[in-house]
Structure 1
């Protein structure tokens, strides 16, 4: 059985889950503890980040490398086109989406954590040591997140500006491809990458970022969400999730 080592709230891990789902491959989503995960990641893959896919004896780190691996080993439902021009365009958009994801994470976390501990609650999970000792684990996790993701005001402002620029560029790419998909005429890596990176801003149903408990969001977050939904890009992300995100595994993991 394949195992995807993940953080449930990570949009890069959502991207990896979607890649596996698109291929129709069975897998287990296994959660790791933030911070503590680094020792495991270094031991298995020589780097610090998630997601990591274990497929038999193979260990593959990074959502993009997972996509390339899956297309090589499981070519059905290809994520990249055989046409060289379309393949290169897909990889360019994927790279742009990966950069966007860094800034979405910083800006979104900064706003959300300023008014709610909901992300911390999800990271702690429903049971286990973190939940058992939550009075200690919650403030530690919050400090780790602020430090690791550099949630200071100056960097958050830079991330907001960078998000604006990348979203405008992706919106134009989508319009030029007649608003159905980003590359070609069917779902592929570019679509999965972009939709996964933007999903946290839209609080889409069935995703880790769905506002199930009707948590209060900041005016800045709600305003940005509405601005995004007024763009073809935001409407496209919403449509793709509704029609093509056929999740086979619960994002909450085990």
Structure 2
């Protein structure tokens, strides 16, 4: 649980795959808005047992008394309505709100898919890396399942997302195009993409760009840049040096505060039972 005082407050449940950048988008928002929650982590494809029970097929799924939410953008809209922190992710100004929502949709639809597919091209066959990415603080039986079924799971990932050299090259081009869009929006020394406070657009970009920027503040550490294939590391260094990359890394450094909510402390009762 990420907050110690939850008296008279609903504690919502976030079902995740640890490394999922869409889950990180929601996790970051919950932490930023100081909304109490329990994170329930699962190994793919075993996560489907938990998500299907709550109306979803993939992650993230947010389980609340008001209903279950199965899309990261819908989740952020909901969290914005229940926040009592005084901080909100969608501006009240109609035009600015439209800008935020359009950028969030662009990043979700394009950047999220491209960073995932490009990263999986290099790493989905690496058992050690994928163990770190998928098994962090997950139930012990799922971790055992990962070890037994990893070759099949890895092959399925590559099939489902059509991971090939050509698709990876196309994904990288898509990533660079989004970074160029963000570069242009930040021209003139802007601190945030829309307005003068952090919004859903900023969190979405930074979270979905994290796989190609490797911010040290990310709550699920998979690899250091020196451990990566040379070609992959070169691209990451290039992206880190862009205006968009510097901005996303700054957001992680200045806004992503997870020290009081270490992943190992965010376990549901199901996980605790499974790990005993």
**TM-score of the superposition, structure 2-length normalised?**
0.83
Match of 1:100 among 107, 111, 116: 111
Bigger mean CA offset, 191-200 vs 160-169 = 160-169
Per the alignment, residue 167 of structure 1 pairs with: 179
Give the Cα–Cα distance (whole angstroms) in 1 for the partners of residues 145 and 62 of structure 2: 29
SS in 2 for 1:14: helix
Per the alignment, residue 15 of structure 1 pairs with: 25
- Matching of residues 1-254 of structure 1 within 5 Å: 1-45=11-55, 47-74=56-83, 76-98=86-108, 99-113=110-124, 117-125=128-136, 128-175=140-187, 178-208=189-219, 210=221, 216-247=227-258, 248-251=260-263, 253-254=266-267
Give the Cα–Cα distance (whole angstroms) in 1 for the partners of residues 33 and 147 of structure 2: 41
Give the Cα–Cα distance (whole angstroms) in 1 for the partners of residues 112 and 67 of structure 2: 26
- For residues 157-216 of structure 1, what are the alpha-carbon distances to aligned partners after superposition, in whole Å with 9 as ceiling and x for unaligned? 22112112111112111225x231111101111110000011111221131564556762
Per the TM alignment, residue 17 of structure 1 is displaced from its structure 2 partner at its CA by 0.3
Distance 1:133 1:20, change over 3 A: closer
Give the Cα–Cα distance (whole angstroms) in 1 for the partners of residues 102 and 233 of structure 2: 29
Contact 1:108 1:200 in 2 (8 A): yes
Contact 2:115 2:175 in 1 (8 A): yes
Distance 1:135 1:100, change over 3 A: closer
Give the Cα–Cα distance (whole angstroms) in 2 for the partners of residues 140 and 52 of structure 1: 25
Contact 1:5 1:31 in 2 (8 A): yes
Distance 1:153 1:64, change over 3 A: same
Contact 2:15 2:41 in 1 (8 A): yes
5+ residue gaps, structure 2: 1-10, 268-276
Distance 1:203 1:209, change over 3 A: farther
5+ residue gaps, structure 1: none
Distance 1:31 1:74, change over 3 A: same
CA RMSD of aligned residues (A): 2.3
SS in 2 for 1:117: helix
SS in 2 for 1:184: coil
How many pairs align?
252
Distance 1:193 1:214, change over 3 A: closer
Distance 1:15 1:134, change over 3 A: closer
